[in-house]
């Protein structure tokens, strides 16, 4: 797999290049973001998406914002500029915690430098922020590889694996989270079938995951969202694996809408349900899933399909982008640090406190 979803071009005065996922699979286009407003629009409109990917993109977004600042500005003005940029970026999508995680890292690095003596000039801070954004990028790619290595043991030859939405290279700076497990299993010589939910309303499964898996030459079957239960009943699916956008301290997990339903089906039919996510996706500041802010998106995503109206004018629409799967429905959470079997608050805290 050689999908480079995010790439910084140049030095601190450069730009961010992303694969524009709004056009896949019919067209492969790259989009260059030269300022923070352009990047925020790209995040909001899902040109770039996936919790890890938008975290990395946001880190580079601060680099873009810094380009509007003179090289000899005061520390106070530089600090205010960074805070304003981070506030703008974090407001783009409320559910994925990787966004705020990455921005907090950028702020910490910048403010430690600004509070040091002698005080650095703005250009030095720009370079430092870019270096930290590069570090976040590299760490995400490394975490993806480790997630795959830690999770591949759960996939056996001849299994049917169901995944939902897109948790692959297009959603990260590396080879993905849930799909990293699948790629690593393939690298081990295992032969299996991946069932891909289309993932309404924006079809990230059909448009993105199916596209990725085809590029990787993995045997893939695309299904409508409402077919999963029947396939599980027929014993064609032996495990479910998805990514995550935020994981609470007790293991409750927010992911693309429809994930909760799959976890219920898996539990009822006694098949394992796995979450694959980096440690940066955990939010220990919230005790449970009920405190996760669920993003509500525009009605047109439901009422319009392929630029064709499919619902009557004036109809009320409820369009949450995510739902929350309770920890008791999750067989294990796979991270770069290892595996948390039957996750709960104590196991998660112990897991995250350990080193890789």
State the catalytic residues: 245
Residues 173 and 176: their CA atoms lie apart, in Å, by 8
Contact 23, 31 (CB under 8 A): no
Kind plus residue range of the DSSP H or E element containing 275: strand 273-276
Cα–Cα distances in angstroms (integers) from residue 177 to residues 151, 186, 274, in the given order: 10, 15, 11
Dihedral in degrees, nearest 10, Cα atoms 19, 244, 131, 45: 40
DSSP-assigned states of every residue in 49-113: -SHHHHHHHHHHHHHHHHTTS-TT--HHHHHHHHHHHHHHHHTS-SS-HHHHHHHHHHHHHHHHH
CA atoms within 13 A on the CB side of 208: 30
Residues 356 and 349: their CA atoms lie apart, in Å, by 14
Max CA pair span of the chain: 69
Give the tokens for residue 150.
Answer: 């830690």
Q: In sequence order, which ranges of 218-344 are alpha helices (DSSP H)?
A: 228-233, 259-268, 300-303
Distance linking the first and last C-alpha atoms of the chain: 24
The label of the residue with tokens 């059909």 reads: 206
CA atoms within 13 A on the CB side of 217: 6
Q: Is 242 left (phi over 0), alpha (psi -120 to 50) or beta?
A: beta
Q: Which segments of the chain are extended strands (E)?
A: 6-9, 15-19, 30-33, 160-163, 193-197, 220-223, 239-242, 246-248, 253-256, 273-276, 282-283, 304-305, 308-309, 322-325, 332-335, 338-341
């Amino acid at each position: 797999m050689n999908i480079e979803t995010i790439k910084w071009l140049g030095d601190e005065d450069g730009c961010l290049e992303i694969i524009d996922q709004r056009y896949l699979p019919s067209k492969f286009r790259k989009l260059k973001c030269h300022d923070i407003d352009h990047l925020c629009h790209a995040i909001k409109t899902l040109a770039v998406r996936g919790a890890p990917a938008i975290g990395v993109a946001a880190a580079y977004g601060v680099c873009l914002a810094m380009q509007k600042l003179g090289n000899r500005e005061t520390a106070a003005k530089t600090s205010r500029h960074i805070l304003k940029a981070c506030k703008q970026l974090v407001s783009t999508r409320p559910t994925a915690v990787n966004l705020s995680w990455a921005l907090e890292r950028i702020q910490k690095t910048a403010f430690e430098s600004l509070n040091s003596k002698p005080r650095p000039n703005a250009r030095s801070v720009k370079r430092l922020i870019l270096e930290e954004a590069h570090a976040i990028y590299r760490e995400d790619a490394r975490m993806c590889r480790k997630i795959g290595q830690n999770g591949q043991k759960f996939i056996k030859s001849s299994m049917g694996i169901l995944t939902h939405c897109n948790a692959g290279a297009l959603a990260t700076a590396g080879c993905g989270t849930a799909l990293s497990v699948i790629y690593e299993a393939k690298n081990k010589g295992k032969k299996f079938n991946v069932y891909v939910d289309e993932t309404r309303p924006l079809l990230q499964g059909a448009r993105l995951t199916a596209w990725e898996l085809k590029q990787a030459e993995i045997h893939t079957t695309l299904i409508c969202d409402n077919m999963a239960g029947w396939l599980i009943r027929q014993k064609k699916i032996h495990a479910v694996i998805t990514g995550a956008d935020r994981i609470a301290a007790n293991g409750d997990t927010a992911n693309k809408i429809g994930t909760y339903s799959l976890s219920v089906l898996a539990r009822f039919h006694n098949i394992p349900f796995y979450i694959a996510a980096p440690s940066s996706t955990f939010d220990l500041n919230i005790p449970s899933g009920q405190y996760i802010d669920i993003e509500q998106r525009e009605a047109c995503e439901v009422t319009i399909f392929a630029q064709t109206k499919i619902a009557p004018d004036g109809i009320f629409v409820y369009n949450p982008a995510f739902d929350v799967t309770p920890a008791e429905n999750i067989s294990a959470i796979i991270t770069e640090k290892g595996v948390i079997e039957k996750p709960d608050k104590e196991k998660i805290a112990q897991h995250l406190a350990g080193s890789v």
